[in-house]
Each structure stands twice: as structure tokens, then as C-alpha cells.
Chains A and B, each alone.
Chain A
Amino acid sequence: TQLLEQSPQFLSIQEGENLTVYCNSSSVFSSLQWYRQEPGEGPVLLVTVVTGGEVKKLKRLTFQFGDARKDSSLHITAAQPGDTGLYLCASSYNQGGKLIFGQGTELSVKP
């Protein structure tokens, strides 16, 4: 059974702090996606990483894909209250439209 492990599960920080969320698997990812979900809404895709060692930046968010394609991280610099939400990693493991999601990281950024 393929499993995606995310850590930490919960994170409560002050505005301006930095944070990193991790996503790990025992299997190799074909690709890895990061989503953010706000209360009452569906997840919204932030980024897709495909190549081992890849680094992508989205404003204050930096996404890394491990060289072996078994792990990924999301780093937020100078977090803001608007970053509050549930961050999810997901992968298809080459099973087409079936995405396997991590349990998510609930981030709360206090002003």
C-alpha cells in the first residue's frame, strides 16, 4: 500500500516566521503535487514537481523534490496570516487519475 507521510500535522506560528512542511514516501513518486485548502473550499493546486532535485518557487513558497523522488518539502518564508490553511501533498504513483494524498499539515499563522 502506497503511503504519503506528512509532517508536522499541525503548525501554529507567528506572522513573519519561517516554516517547512515535509512529505515522504517509501515508494518513488512519478510526480508530486502540493495543494492548499481553505475552510469550506476544495484543495487548490500550488505546484507540481516532476524531476528529482527540482526546486520551484512561488513567491514566498519554495518547493523541493528529493533527488531520489521519495520526498518533498514546502518552505514558507516570512509567513503571513493569509498562508493559513491545510497543506496537502499528493502523488499519482503513475496510477492515472487516482491521487494519493498525505494527511495534510494544518497551518495557522497568527498576526
Chain B
Amino acid sequence: KAGVTQTPRYLIKTRGQQVTLSCSPISGHRSVSWYQQTPGQGLQFLFEYFSETQRNKGNFPGRFSGRQFSNSRSEMNVSTLELGDSALYLCASSLFGGTGANVLTFGAGSRLTVL
């Protein structure tokens, strides 16, 4: 079965611009989580969506937002980009989410560079 698909894989933006990243989960998976990965901070949780509702949110400013559609596809948006937003953005899907032993399948990520 197809894995988690993230688009675009690479993108370059300048400070002040905004960006939208897309994630298509594994077919049948209803939970989508987003993570930011940087060399300094490692992998940090952004938010989780389940059945079009945000169920968990990490400690990121309001410039970071997301949504989930009825087909479970998800998008995340970052507005007013800053240099520090340069990172690998990873999307992960799971069947239900919300369990103690949550099994996530990650996509390959979207590499964002902010100049």
C-alpha cells in the first residue's frame, strides 16, 4: 500500500512569505500529526488532527496552523516566515491516534529553507 506522501519535498522561501505543505496519509488512516525537525531542537510536535479536528497542539506560535480534510489529507501553513523556520517538516499518519502505544508512519518530509 502507498505510504505517507508529502509535497513539496523541497522549497525555498524568503522571510515574510508564507508556505503551505501537504500530507496524504496512508489510506484508511484518520490521524495525521506534524513535526518539525531541526539540528538544534530535534523533532518537535506541532499538532495532530483526527477526523478534521485538531486534537493536540505543541508549543509553537500562532503562525503555524494546520487543517485536515474529510479525506484525511492534511495541510500545514506557516505565515510570516522567519529564518528559524528552516527545517524538515514531517507528517505522520496512524490508524486512530490517541493511544499510549501510537504507531506512526512518517512521510519523507518537506525540506523548507527560508532565506
Contact = CB atoms under 8 A, between A and B. Distances in A.
A103 B37 CA distance: 10
A96 B101 CA distance: 8
A31 interface: yes
Interface residues of B, number: 29
A60 to B, nearest CB: 23
B101 A103 contact: no
Interface of A: 30-31, 33, 40-45, 48, 50, 88, 90, 92, 94-104
A44 B97 contact: no
A96 B102 contact: yes
B5 to A, nearest CB: 11
9 contacts: A42-B106, A92-B102, A96-B56, A96-B98, A97-B94, A98-B45, A98-B48, A101-B35, A104-B42
B81 interface: no
B108 A95 contact: no
